[in-house]
Structure 1
Amino acid sequence: MSLDQPDGRQPDHPVAPQFPARWSPRSFTDQTLTKADVMSLLEAARWAPSASNLQPWRFVWALRGEPEFAAILGCLTGNNPLWAGRAAALIAVASKDRIPGRDGAEQVNRTAGFDTGAAWMSLALQAQAMGLVTHAMGGFGVDDLARVVALPGGHTLQAVVAVGHQGAAEALPETLRPREVPNRRQPLAETSFHGRF
């Protein structure tokens, strides 16, 4: 995969090219992935930073053609089912939100979502290094997906990630084609502050 900077994705400050080059296409080819490919993605996620090394991220994955893939796909909402079925793999991302406290009683792990987000980004960058693209979705039926993946108590579903080889925009339904471009980012002045908000 090329790390050329797409139009509108020029950084204002020096960064490694992988960051502005990564975006979230919806179009996938019919190429497949292997279990070994998915294990590489999950291995990258495994090495994400984690508060107290608790590693609260949890992933449930399936390859296109497997019944589990169809089950996860069936939980997607909005426009997501129109394109995500062509992905080579779907990965449900959850966080384990409770941990044993010093007194042995369970308590909330307030950094679980933060750490799980770091793991997802590691997965996304590994996919990019492998010539793949990823698209994370928040549009899914929470109760349906929890049932499909047998989500344990004390866990929160965060996203479903579609992974595969990037396809042409023309393969998408006509209504989605105009959106098949890298989006822009807000300027740093709107999202980061020196010393205080």
Structure 2
Amino acid sequence: MSPIKIANTQYEVIDLIKNRWSPRSFAEKALDAATVETILEAGSWAPSANNSQPWRFIYALRGTTGFDKLLATLAPGNLPWAKNAAALVATIGIRETPDTQQKNHYYMHDVGMATSFMLLQGLEMNVYAHIMAGFNKQQAAEVAALPANEEAVSILALGYIDSAEKLDEPYKTRELTPRSRNPITTIAAHLD
């Protein structure tokens, strides 16, 4: 089994956050549509500027043509392990509202918020996610038939965790390397 990489935090944060990490080793166990849609619904409840909800999610389960289409958009470095995910989800950002053509300057932030909600919901269900920016955005837009006002933001690999031993290098070492973050003193400052 892959290690559960619990974050060693300076301050006490909730276990769901401490336990979340991005594995590359996924088990053969399948996900069903209801499980994926539960995770996606969690994303739909994220906050967004003016409650615009500038996101969509397009998913495919392993073993389907849709999965193969999303998989084909991935960068070569993600293919060796992402092919074993139980599902792939394309997160889509809506740059401007279709009816008014008003630009949403916060859509990327809001899609990120929705994605974080999905990661935590998945973990609560013992489903892990690995977010990928390494994919061909144009190809993903074509696969998903996105209109001009929408953009593929990331692709998530979802699944149940498996042994790091089944991964080839360099992925095995990455799977086993302890998690780390910059200390709070380097990322935060108290303003008097």
Return the alpha-carbon distance in structure 2 between the equivalents of residues 158 and 169 of structure 1: 27
Instruction: Select 2:90's aligned residue among 89, 92, 97.
Output: 92
Paired letter, 2:184? L
SS class of match (2:57): strand
Instruction: Select 1:129's aligned residue among 124, 136, 143.
Output: 124
SS class of match (2:97): strand
Normalized against structure 2, the TM-score is what? 0.92
Map 1:25-40 onto structure 2 (within 5 A): 25-40=23-38
SS class of match (1:58): strand
Return the alpha-carbon distance in structure 1 between the equivalents of residues 158 and 81 of structure 2: 12
Deviation at 1:193, TM superposition (A): 2.4
RMSD: 1.6
Match of 2:15 in 1: 17
Deviations 1:62-81 (A, max 9, x none): 00011000000011003100
Return the alpha-carbon distance in structure 1 between the equivalents of residues 13 and 181 of structure 2: 14
Deviation at 1:163, TM superposition (A): 0.2
SS class of match (1:106): coil
Query: Structure 2 stretches of 5 or more lacking a match?
Result: none
Paired letter, 1:48? A
Match of 2:188 in 1: 192
Number of aligned residue pairs = 188
Match of 2:107 in 1: 112
Return the alpha-carbon distance in structure 1 between the equivalents of residues 70 and 101 of structure 2: 30
Q: Could you list the runs of 4 or more consecutive aligned residues of structure 1 that deviate by over 6 angstroms after TM superposition?
A: none
Deviation at 1:180, TM superposition (A): 0.1
Deviation at 1:15, TM superposition (A): 1.1
Paired letter, 2:110? D
Map 1:103-182 onto structure 2 (within 5 A): 105-181=100-176, 182=178
Deviation at 1:195, TM superposition (A): 3.0
1:5 and 1:17 in contact (8 A); partners too: no
Deviations 1:56-115 (A, max 9, x none): 011110000110000000110031000001000000011101137xxx852210111111
